[in-house]
Structure 1
Amino acid sequence: MPGSTTDRARQRQRTLAEKLQWLRELKTPRGEQPPSYDMTARLISERTETSISGPYFWELATGRSTNPKLHHLRALARFFNVPVAYLAADENADFEYLEAELELLHALKQRGVHDIRLHGATDVEADLATVQDLLGRLRQLDGPGGDQARETALRLAPLDPEQQQTLHDIIDDPPLLNALRSEPARTLTRAAADLDDTRTTTAATVLQQLPLLDALHTDTTLRIALGAATLSEHSRQAVLTLVEHLTRVENAAQV
């Protein structure tokens, strides 16, 4: 609304007192009065383990004192879930997003939406930090490649935690990502998904032996390998002995 406290504050920099008053109001449930300065100071002291007296907080929140000590600033920032730099800054230019998020959460609470629950979260009430995290993710999706990023995010949502972790592991492995750009590599991956652990280990061993892969490229070698697979262990050993003998003969002939 034009002429509101928020609009007037935007026309100039907020003082520390105004920030504290705004944050204090933000934490107040809809329809209730903000707790007294003494009560607020007591809550800050309890939750941050940093002693702040009621009179001292009153001085900060009313502008009587404008130069708090660093450990007090840290306690205030922790209690109100904002960066220390926000409270310490003389200008607000670098905190436009933060102030917009503060106003959004305040507006939601004023309209009765004070119990914000996120999709996929159970019995979790969103505070300022949660809303900031959510809005930060939304801003990232609005960046370069936003449409593709949003589509990817929607596809990731139904995955179970183990599948999501697997994707994280793949993303952290650039060579693997580059390999998966190839359709033959994706075909191998799909085929491996149906293998048990023993066959997967065997397939990985074969893939690491380039001469064997080159040999299996021919129909004759494939027929020999498939035929050997049906033989008993004793017969396979006999075939291996014959192959070794033939290899020695051919090598000798080439010399």
Structure 2
Amino acid sequence: MDEQGKRRTLAQQLDTLFKTVQPLRREFTYEEVARGCTEAGQGTFSKTYVWQLRTGQRENPTKRHLEALATFFGVPPAYFFDDSVATRVDSQLALATALRDSEVRDVALRMMRMDDTSRQSVARIVQEVMQVYTARSGEPTDPEQRQQGTPRGMN
């Protein structure tokens, strides 16, 4: 679902995967995706077909094609069919993307060495800072609303 509660299109879902499932901080090329999907044994893909799916010019791939795309990007096939699965996967991808940032990773690793009380204190501080930030930026303060409204292509 997008921030307005509407079901995302296949093109939007693929764009999310391209922007968040990345080797070495760059997007996969259409050719890499096409080759990987073909190698998954779920039919023949061309880079043009992958581009058409991502840009919304083709909107009705076969179930086998969606399964191959899911396999390539490492998500369950239900990602393309079930909004709750897509929401869960998107939040996991957002976390993985955030952990690519060395500063975020450094904070997370330091927090792992803390006791529970200290971790809870840091979490409260972060929550308070986020409330100030979201009040200034106009973003929702509720984590669930924020997750649904988070831009899908953050890098």
Calculate the TM-score normalised by the size of structure 2: 0.56
| Distance change >3 Å, CA 73–CA 108, structure 1 → 2 | same
- Other-structure match for 2:50: 57
Structure 1 unmatched ranges of 5 or more: 1-7, 114-255
2:91 to 86, 96, 100: 100
Contact 2:20 2:93 in 1 (8 A): yes
| Distance change >3 Å, CA 99–CA 35, structure 1 → 2 | closer
1:176-219 CA distances to partner (integer Å, 9 max, x unpaired)?
xxxxxxxxxxxxxxxxxxxxxxxxxxxxxxxxxxxxxxxxxxxx
Contact 2:34 2:45 in 1 (8 A): yes
- Other-structure match for 1:27: 21
| Distance change >3 Å, CA 31–CA 85, structure 1 → 2 | closer
Q: Which structure would you say has the larger Rg?
A: 1
Bigger RCO (CA 8 Å, 6+ sep):
2
State the AA in 1 paired with 2:72.
Answer: F
- In percent, how many aligned pairs have the same letter? 35
Secondary structure at the aligned position of 1:9 is classed as: coil
Secondary structure at the aligned position of 1:14 is classed as: coil
| Distance change >3 Å, CA 10–CA 99, structure 1 → 2 | farther
Answer yes or no: is 1:76 the counterpart of 2:69: yes
Secondary structure at the aligned position of 2:2 is classed as: helix
Runs of 4+ in 1 over 6 A off after TM superposition: none
